[in-house]
Structure 1
């Protein structure tokens, strides 16, 4: 068996079992891919794929187990290449970050600015997505790391590292009756139309569930995708804004006021998403340290290779 066979198996699965597309992706011929896979199956004594005629349809049970090993082997091969490349190119390379929109807009600008000062020769790309899309991009290696505002489940090959803390605030017109109460309750908030961030963006499913636990069903006037929209609707007196404190990146004018809601919705953590076994290039580790100053390289590598998440502080 050889690495070419492993790559053909992995790419066949990635291309939804279309060997022609797999061959195109790997710049080779379809007959060559098919032959190599059959030779690997003959050597192993099991079928990796189920077939209908000459067409590959799906993985067999042993095929699924083989794919897991193939993925690990090829990832370690990539890591070996990265080690060599890092020692020859200490301060250059490519780094792809996937993140939810709130963090792209508010968290990353100062982090990226500082990072680019330290590593000006690193080509940095940022991809937007929902929390689940960010996780999928990291898992499929379209991105080196992800940044989300809540934990995700169902991705066994990923680990989460704790990053920057955040909490919700209530945004109100300065003359609003609720501004007389510095410690708002869920019941008080539920009396007014609410303007919140899009549920796909920053953990707001749990926000709505918190109301439901107290048998409250507030009117959700708008699920906005940015803080400026929330501010506009609040200024017009159309409702109470509930938003992460990180989105208040500029001082409020005299017409608006923000009240803390940690006592209602608790404190939250941003999470850095990494694939298990990822090799930490020097500049990648530097970015993680900017996002989570409390972590060191040893803790991060322990998480990646032992398969558990560091407990949030």
Structure 2
């Protein structure tokens, strides 16, 4: 007998004996729930349910007794977790997170503020790098997890949780020819190919979405400079070294609007996705779950706490289509500030 079997049992009762609904609540499959119930009944050598044609109708007399005790046990488990979480709050520990400049500068300020208020004794350490470097940091155990803006799920020993959709924007100085485009005019990939290009280091890795747009149109970009830091890209665009392609969430109208025009290129480049990335061998602490939950509050806490199920339960086409835009985090940061 284990906790998962008791959880399955209690959740089925809570959902009026509907196994499918219980499976959805626990972010698992209907066969998994059925298997857990069978193992529990076999171990106890008793039928916990009243059945008709393989359908669950009600609890058996013994099932009612077991259900009451199971609820008490799960309540005590939650209490244990709360005690441990409170202990974590008071521990002086280090949390190491690998991520990009864009995340630290534009997406995480409000998250960091809230986390520090809740866990004042935990020191945050951010390690910057390109996606391949972030993956290596996680694999080598140099960091606890990564917030990565490229496809970390391609790495064998890593587990990923998609959190946000992010898009790209084109930056040009106001005296640049492309700045003269009217609001209802869309820039073309042919126009972009005419000018030197400044973008992220991973913008032209093999198979990147930006690279594919040029390749699909039989064009070769004139890459003038690549960098991992968005501010460097903006700086050299201001110096007229070339046109820039950055994460749309990195454009700040207040700070950048006076010198740079932001042009939408969603019609040219498909969106990418930001993932939380952990090693399969990492034991995640409650404060790690809390940080991720603050960063992606739209994801159910139960999912965040079950990284072993991220790949099977949180990588469907529907999930990706329903992810919010990364710019929504920036809006929340602005409101908080």
Structure 1 length normalisation: TM-score? 0.65
Residue in 1 aligned with 2:305? 301
Cα distance change, pair 114–200 in 1 and its aligned pair in 2 (3 A): farther
> How far is 1:127 from its partner?
1.9
Cα distance change, pair 274–239 in 1 and its aligned pair in 2 (3 A): same
Instruction: Report if the CA contact (8 A) 1:275-1:304 is conserved.
Output: no
Q: Which runs of 5+ in 1 are unaligned?
A: 1-82
> How far is 1:199 from its partner?
2.3
Of 262, 268, 272, the residue aligned with 1:264 is: 268
> How far is 1:99 from its partner?
1.3
Find the residue that maps to 2:288 and give its secondary structure. helix
Cα distance change, pair 301–201 in 1 and its aligned pair in 2 (3 A): farther
Residue in 2 aligned with 1:96? 96
Cα distance change, pair 207–261 in 1 and its aligned pair in 2 (3 A): same
Q: Which runs of 5+ in 2 are unaligned?
A: 1-80, 323-337
The one-character-per-residue Cα deviations of 1:212-259 (angstroms, maximum 9, x if unpaired) are 121011211111332333223323333211111222245224332101
> How far is 1:85 from its partner?
9.1
The separation in 1 between residues aligned to 2:259 and 2:100, in whole angstroms, is 29
Larger mean Cα displacement after TM superposition, 203-212 or 133-142: 203-212
Larger mean Cα displacement after TM superposition, 225-234 or 255-264: 225-234
Of 182, 186, 190, the residue aligned with 1:183 is: 186
> How far is 1:131 from its partner?
1.5
Count of aligned positions: 232
The separation in 1 between residues aligned to 2:211 and 2:198, in whole angstroms, is 12
Report the RMSD for the aligned CA atoms in angstroms: 3.0
Instruction: Report if the CA contact (8 A) 1:167-1:245 is conserved.
Output: yes
Residue in 1 aligned with 2:277? 273
> How far is 1:297 from its partner?
2.3
Structure 2 length normalisation: TM-score? 0.61
> How far is 1:86 from its partner?
3.0
Residue in 2 aligned with 1:292? 296
Find the residue that maps to 1:141 and give its secondary structure. coil
Find the residue that maps to 1:215 and give its secondary structure. coil
Find the residue that maps to 1:90 and give its secondary structure. helix
Residue in 1 aligned with 2:151? 151
Residue in 2 aligned with 1:136? 136
The separation in 1 between residues aligned to 2:114 and 2:310, in whole angstroms, is 30
The separation in 1 between residues aligned to 2:116 and 2:267, in whole angstroms, is 37
Residue in 1 aligned with 2:202? 199
Residue in 2 aligned with 1:226? 229
Cα distance change, pair 121–204 in 1 and its aligned pair in 2 (3 A): farther
> How far is 1:285 from its partner?
1.2
Cα distance change, pair 96–201 in 1 and its aligned pair in 2 (3 A): farther
Find the residue that maps to 1:217 and give its secondary structure. coil
Instruction: Report if the CA contact (8 A) 1:131-1:201 is conserved.
Output: no
Residue in 2 aligned with 1:125? 125
The one-character-per-residue Cα deviations of 1:18-37 (angstroms, maximum 9, x if unpaired) are xxxxxxxxxxxxxxxxxxxx
